[in-house]
Amino acid sequence: MTPIDEADQEKPWYAHIWPWLLMLGPVLVIIAGGYTSWLAFSRQDAMVVDDYYKQGKAINQDLRRDRVATSLGLSLQARYDPVKGTLQGRLQSFGAPAAGNISLYLAHSTQPEKDLRLEVQLDPRGEFSVALPMLDRARWQLTVEGARRDWRLLGVWQWPQQQSVDIKADLPPAG
């Protein structure tokens, strides 16, 4: 035996590097598992619903509302002016101005507490202007509904990359 081998044999196990390197992997896995568990239990899951059957029926109703918007030939053009803090737009039906009240719902892509609902009165030209606070940089889901919630338009708005948004009812007819 060489003198180096004899010196290594005289050291206790904890004085060698290999046992510590071999234990490092499992320790890191335990720490990562604990952190993942903490995240899972401390954060609310906004996507979970209680009544799946009711949600399924609502999807069919929503598709009917999309078909009504298509039969009315609805389209929306809107533009956000962050300096004035206003959202201005126009709702048309087959190119003619639409009338009445509409509801605009802006859903934030990841933070439900930042969602916005705006009730809007259309003028005789089908135009509107409504105050809108500064929007976060996000991918917004825009839903436009009639006053009686009998139709809806859906669109995606990537703010600030898109200064305006155009939505057309283009659901193919049921068949």
- Going from the first residue of the chain to its last (175 residues), give the mean pLDDT of each consecutive group of 10, the final group possibly shorter: 62 92 96 94 70 61 80 90 90 85 89 88 90 86 86 88 88 49
Looking at residue 147, what is its pLDDT? 80
Indicate the fold that domain 73-168 takes in CATH. Answer: Immunoglobulin-like (2.60.40)
- Rounded Cα–Cα distance for residues 143 and 105 (Å): 5
- Rounded Cα–Cα distance for residues 100 and 104 (Å): 13
For the record, the structure tokens of 136 come out as 């976060």
* Secondary structure percentages of the chain, helix, strand, coil, to 5: 35, 35, 35
pTM of the prediction?
0.62
Looking at residue 79, what is its pLDDT? 92
Looking at residue 7, what is its pLDDT? 60
| Domain spans, the chain | 3-42, 73-168
Residue 168 identity (one-letter amino acid): K
What's the distance, CA 133 to chain centroid?
18
Looking at residue 65, what is its pLDDT? 83
Looking at residue 163, what is its pLDDT? 87
C-alpha torsion angle, residues 166, 107, 84, 92 (rounded to 10): 30
Kindly state the greatest CA–CA separation across the chain.
Answer: 101
**Within a 10 A sphere around the Cβ of 64, how many other Cβ atoms?**
13
Looking at residue 24, what is its pLDDT? 95
